[in-house]
Structure 1
Amino acid sequence: MAEQKDNRILKVLLGIFILSLLGLGVWSYNTYQENEGIKIALNDEKAQIQMELDNISSEYSIEIEKGNVLSADLTDARDRIKRLVDSVSKLKTDVKVISILRRELANIKKDRQLLQDRINTLEVVNQNLALENENTLAALNTEIIKSQDQNSTIANLNSNMARASALIPTNFTPVGIIVRSSGKQIENDRASRVDDIKVCFTLPENPLATTGVTSFYLQVINPDNNVLGENKSKEFDGQKLAYSKVVQFNYKGKELDLCEVVGVNEDNIVKGRYRINLYNGPVLVSSSEMTLR
């Protein structure tokens, strides 16, 4: 009886042992599966964190390539991410590593937001400066245009004043004359009879014109294209003017009638058309023609 009782105890103990082994095996298997699941989850989280870090690093690179004024700060932040990723990639994935990554990612995201806020602020400032520069340039262009218009207006006024103040002769009339021994002058259009050529003209009243002694230059050209009279020359602005006689007069702003006789050599009095010009310095102020037969 005692032996049977001992056998039953052994069987019970054996059963308990087998059940314990089975329980341990199940527990070990479950624990293993749980650990593998944790490893997979940790690796997935690590990969996700690394991907976020890579994205932030790429954002920094884009801003740096734009030549952002914060390029130095962005470069430092990007290098920090690179160092973090390089160091963590060499470590075995566990809860401690993931904890470090989570903490660093949170700090990096915070820094990124601060940098982004600074970038946005600088962009607003730059936009305002650009707008201000555009407005300034537009205003400057407007002033330049106004100045050009004013200069043009002044130039036009000066030109108009110059024309208004110019002495322009009227009744410009050349004739051939016979000079009697008494000094009497008789008009004639026959070349064989003409002794000299007389030119008369009127200077009108002009309160804008310069008063005082003034010189005009009378030019008489015969049909052979010879300059009659004194046939001297005067240089104006690098160009020479051949003239027959200098006409001097004292202009006082009132109407003035003038007549000048150009003494000519008889050999230069020929039949044909004569051109008579009057110059005020280099400026031709009057011109006429006459014909001797």
Structure 2
Amino acid sequence: MKKKFASLRIKALLAVLLVFGLGVTFYVFSKETKTFFSVSNIEKDKMDSINESNQAVFAQKNILDSLNTLKLAYDVAMVEKTVLSQELELEKKNVENLMEIIKASKNPSISQILIYRKQLSDLKTSLASKVAEIKNLKSENKSLLTEIESQNEVMYQQKVKNDTLASHQKKLESTLKSASKLDLNNFKVVALHDKKTGEELETDKAKSTNKLKASFYISGNSVAKTGKRVFYVQVLDQKNTVLGEDKLIEFGNNKALVYSFIVSADFQGKPVNVYGILNSDNEFKKGTYFVNFFDKHEIMGSTSITLK
């Protein structure tokens, strides 16, 4: 009886162990299966992500190629030189800016690609509209050219007459201007010493010089404008410094002059001698002084003097 009871206990223990072993085996197998499927899903997500990235890069390249072609199309359209050229130039800049933005985008997302495609489409549509408008303008210009050509002969004949009159007028004005221009000559400069008696003596000594007298001669001219005429005298020392008033006067057209003093003359068509005086605040130094004479900004003559 005891042996039979012991045998039953052993069988029961073996049954429990068998059930436990099956349970453990099922648990381990179930866990490994879940792990396998989890890893598989991750790998699949990675592959999908890689494929999506490759697709975005490929789409990015296609958009850049299309934009480059569109840029060339804008260059062709601008060759026409129409009133739309400025607008076309601006839109071409937009194409170039978009290309730079896309190039700077290393890993564009699908949403970015969609935005780029939309912008590309808008630019293409705009260019197509401009090209159509240019064609209309060319057609209108052709009609206008036909109308203009019918009037060219009359306009040409009138232009010949006008050109002839203008040429004669220009020659007459040039002749009159040349004839009315004053002739300045006999340019001189002398150093003067003032004596206590009031007498002025010429000198060539620097320490004896009180002032420089610059003079010139205006030839007679019956067709020149009469009245007060102003001339400018420029005195330069050994350092090329302008002595005297050292003032700047502007004549327009970027013409200007720095002068030492002004000489005025009442010109009445007859010859006249003109002179001006440069007084020195300090002693004149030894060396050569250069004197230039100007009628407005035009130099009329030059001379020099050397003081010992």
TM, length-normalised to structure 1: 0.49
Tell me which structure has the larger Cα radius of gyration: 1
TM, length-normalised to structure 2: 0.47
